[in-house]
Structure 1
Amino acid sequence: MSQDLLTLSSPAANRVLAEYSEDPLGFMTRCAREFGEIVPFRIEDRLICLLTNPMHITEVLKDPLLFIKAKDLQILHGLLGNGLITSEGDFWQRQRRLTQPVFYHQRINSYGAVMVDYTKQMLQTWCEGEVRDVHDDMMRLTLNIVMKTIFNRDVTDGEASYVAHALDEAMNWFVYQMNNSLVEEQDSNVDRRYQDAIALLDDTIYAMLKHRRSSGEEGEDLLGMLMQVQDADDGSRMSDRQLRDEVASLMLAGHETTANSLSWTWMLLAQHPEVQAKLKQELKMALDGRTPTVSSLSQLPYTHMIIKEAMRLYPPVTDVSREATRDCEIGGYFIPKGCTLIASQWVMHRDPRYFQHPEVFNPERWENDLEKQLPRGVYFPFGDGPRICIGKSFALMEAVLILTTIAQAFELELVPDRAIELQPSITLRPKHGIQVVLKKA
């Protein structure tokens, strides 16, 4: 017999919204430590449950029909439309099936040279002793790479700035919506900037689609492959509107997560010179100054561990939320239709039940296949289940290739006395960037 959620301990309703708005990551962590494996609480009229049992997390993420994307992500339809990130049900299944071949391993590997070439182009603009915001640099670099892989051409500064501006405004708008949900009179300027940015993004993407259509060339880039895929049942192809939505989703997911992961990695390396020294030693032995390639990846186990550990401490996405489409049961507790279920990477990745000294940056913890020894639902930086990030292999390969290319040329030292503040939004960004001083390696 299932039990009622009200029988569980939960944080007091009158302090939930204030604590969550002020520090969502701290709030979730405290809930997990104080109240157990299912923590119910309310924000406005929404019943929310934080899950901290890996089996419960896996159960929710493996069933995309019973547990759909929650309302907090659905408000991004203006940016992402009905793309893979936001679509649901049969339509999502169809789009996932159509898009999956675009991300087959051999296709992803072909983009390795693009990633390294663009990184080298960026390094030509870097100078010894210069102070830079490495987050800005990683955002621009990964955006240029994903635009090249989508459209197979170097985007103009204008095109890149329009896309970057739209994504920045979307992040700011999302944070504003989450933090001001109870404010009756919302700031119309925030909404207007968001809508203007989306319109500019639409103009940019549709112009590229129109150019591709008029040229008569479909190409072997991501856009070309998306244009060519056909539904096996009816032979239909994606409309321009659907192509726009999938391209916008690729732009967000294809550069934002990698850029943030690399930014946090540079911060951690600067804070831990002993790890940076081991990285340099591995690069010397494996590459000896040679340009990294896809074939080099297998020779860089410590580099992979650095990325994996950085994503443990600073996951690209801090939590995934799902909404129950009907009454159901989890862990012996009744879950009503409409209840929002949250699985927090931030909480699980720092859980002392599974990670010794969880707050410590220790890449060596991933030796001896630790990930395979962990229960499923403990470490999931790219999500899990059928809706696991379709670009996971792309992102991991990109992170390692960019990290190794830069680390062979420069060391990055943090500018002293500059606070680095977390900004949990759709992704986990450094709110005011990460200021570094460049030093020749």
Structure 2
Amino acid sequence: MTVTGTDIPGPAGLPVVGSMFELQRDSLGAFLRAQREHGDVVRVSAGPPGLRTVVYGVFSAPGAQQVLATEAANFRKDNPFYGEIRESFGNGLLTAQDADYRRQRRLVQPLFTRRRVDGYADTITTEAELAVRRWRDAVDGGTTDLVLDMNRLALRTVTRILFGMDVEEAVDVTHRCFPVINDYVLHRAYSPLSPPRGWPTPANRRAEAATREVYAVCDRIIAERQAADASRTADASRTADGAGAYGAGADGALPDGPGTVTSGTGADDLLDLLARARSDEDRPLDADELRDQVLIFLLAGHETTATSLAFTLHLLARHPEQQRAAQDEIARVLGERAPTAADMEKLPHLTRCLKEAMRLYPAAPVIGRRAVDACEIDGHAIPAGANVVVSPWVTHRHPGLWEDPDRYDPERFTPEREAERHRYAWFPFGGGPRACIGQHFSMLESVLALAVLLRAYEVQPADDNDVPVSAGITLQPTGPARARLRSRA
């Protein structure tokens, strides 16, 4: 029997405003309670009459697969949340749709092949070693906040990979401005009535100033890189004319094929590769599009990995037997040498520790879509135009999918146990055609950085407090993850 949209169960909420305050205060807890009390498809109403928003939560693994993969064409990023992200961070891969998205994906995909990403391993380990040095200089034997430390490590790593040596200014601006923009987007997305962005309210003015500063630093770096590329191209052309090359590049290389990154003499950072990306059917990215991609990579590329690193260390501090097993594995595989991309597959226990942390603290805890046409999910009729959310935060804690779901147990991710589960029981990177393009980069960065950090330090809990979190554009720790560090030198 199909249950119609208006009959789908869900929390009653408060008179007049429904679940509006509960969602604003703790959306993750609200969705988790809704699943436990009402089932895998719930209807949540928020806001007063006339301004009310209805959200359909889909929390089963098959339901998540239907929304993200098998019927992905029917579920678009047209909801208010993605609209606010688009307004603040531009029309990059995270927010683009239809022809824009397909073109961007074709141009950017070659930059995230496994071979290309594995080439970033040296940068990842270098930044992790610098983090160890900062720990040794500042907090050796004392306490630190893993949230702040891992945010800085991930941000330095992604800006180094994006911009090459242009790191510190971008790190400073991003660190100061992104939280302001993140809070602004979240508030507007959950508010039933927000003033136009052009009105001179205090919140609008703070967000505008932060956005303008982030845009300015990205535009400056892009302009400088384009000027340098133009100069290199002119120099290469003069050299080729003098050498009399026969249609090949001056170094004898054949022209690149469709969908590849054009060869050249520029830097190997991601910005340079983006600027030179070409395909047979697509024009290159212009300056505004380059900035939009850079902003999305800065946002998604550092906040998500920082969350995974911080909570893996936080949980290992509270499970010393798992930490010792990971450190023993690191010692057997690496000895004293720096880890490489090839070592990732040789560190299965460390990878399991990371995956289990990502189960409990997924960096993208809620994923929203809008249903284009009416459909049926798990026997429930979803109306056309409905706001639909799937939630790794909830599905990763589903008692029908995970035994004792709140317990930290890396052994859930042995190959045998992974093969027994539904593909969408664990989906921290989303899924389907809009799955995160940088998931291999995130896993590689996390595993290699953890190997460097855990080889140098034992991480112990500094208190018994849980780390409070909220759902922003990504999962946001709203308090510290304090830990005590003990050198293993």
Tell me if TM exceeds 0.5: yes
Q: Which residue of 2 aligns with 1:164?
A: 175
Q: Matches of 1:255 and 1:411 in 2, distance apart? A: 24
SS in 2 for 1:402: helix
SS in 1 for 2:424: coil
Q: Kindly report which structure 2 residues correspond to 1:227-376, keeping only aligned pairs within 5 A, or say none.
A: 227-233=275-281, 235-376=282-423
Q: Is the Cα contact below 8 Å between 2:43 and 2:54 reproduced in 1?
A: yes
Q: Matches of 2:399 and 2:303 in 1, distance apart? A: 28
Q: Matches of 2:228 and 2:460 in 1, distance apart? A: 47
Deviations 1:75-127 (A, max 9, x none): 01233211000111121111111111110110000000100011111211223
Counterpart pick for 1:223 among 263, 266, 271: 271
Q: Kindly report which structure 2 residues correspond to 1:20-59, keeping only aligned pairs within 5 A, or say none.
A: 20-44=23-47, 45-59=52-66
Output the aligned Cα RMSD: 2.1
Q: Matches of 2:432 and 2:466 in 1, distance apart? A: 37
SS in 1 for 2:73: coil
Give TM-score scaled by structure 2 length.
Answer: 0.85
Q: Which residue of 2 aligns with 1:72?
A: 81
- What is the CA distance between 1:417 and its match in structure 2? 5.7
Q: Is the Cα contact below 8 Å between 1:78 and 1:198 reproduced in 2?
A: no
What is the identity, as a one-letter code, of the residue corresponding to 2:59? T
Q: Is the Cα contact below 8 Å between 2:53 and 2:192 reproduced in 1?
A: no
Q: Is the Cα contact below 8 Å between 1:150 and 1:223 reproduced in 2?
A: yes
Q: Are the structure 2 counterparts of residues 215 and 248 from structure 1 closer, same or farther at C-alpha, using a change threshold of 3 Å?
A: same
Q: Is the Cα contact below 8 Å between 1:79 and 1:248 reproduced in 2?
A: no
- What is the CA distance between 1:325 and its match in structure 2? 2.1
Q: Are the structure 2 counterparts of residues 417 and 331 from structure 1 closer, same or farther at C-alpha, using a change threshold of 3 Å?
A: closer
Q: Is the Cα contact below 8 Å between 1:258 and 1:399 reproduced in 2?
A: yes
Q: Matches of 1:132 and 1:37 in 2, distance apart? A: 39
Q: Is the Cα contact below 8 Å between 1:65 and 1:89 reproduced in 2?
A: no
- What is the CA distance between 1:46 and its match in structure 2? 2.1
Q: Is the Cα contact below 8 Å between 2:84 and 2:189 reproduced in 1?
A: no
Give TM-score scaled by structure 1 length.
Answer: 0.94
Q: Matches of 1:124 and 1:142 in 2, distance apart? A: 15
Counterpart pick for 1:138 among 147, 150, 156: 150
Q: Matches of 1:231 and 1:294 in 2, distance apart? A: 28
- What is the CA distance between 1:7 and its match in structure 2? 2.4
Q: Which residue of 1 aligns with 2:261?
A: none
Corresponding residue pairs, total: 439
Return 82-91 or 425-434, whichever deviates more: 425-434
SS in 2 for 1:23: helix
Q: Kindly report which structure 2 residues correspond to 1:1-150, keeping only aligned pairs within 5 A, or say none.
A: 3-14=3-14, 15-44=18-47, 45-62=52-69, 63-69=71-77, 70-127=79-136, 128-150=140-162
Q: Which residue of 1 aligns with 2:442?
A: 395
- What is the CA distance between 1:183 and its match in structure 2? 7.6
Return 215-224 or 319-328, whichever deviates more: 215-224
SS in 2 for 1:341: strand
Unaligned runs of 5+ in 2: 233-265
How high is the sequence identity, in percent, across the aligned residues? 30
Q: Matches of 1:40 and 1:248 in 2, distance apart? A: 34
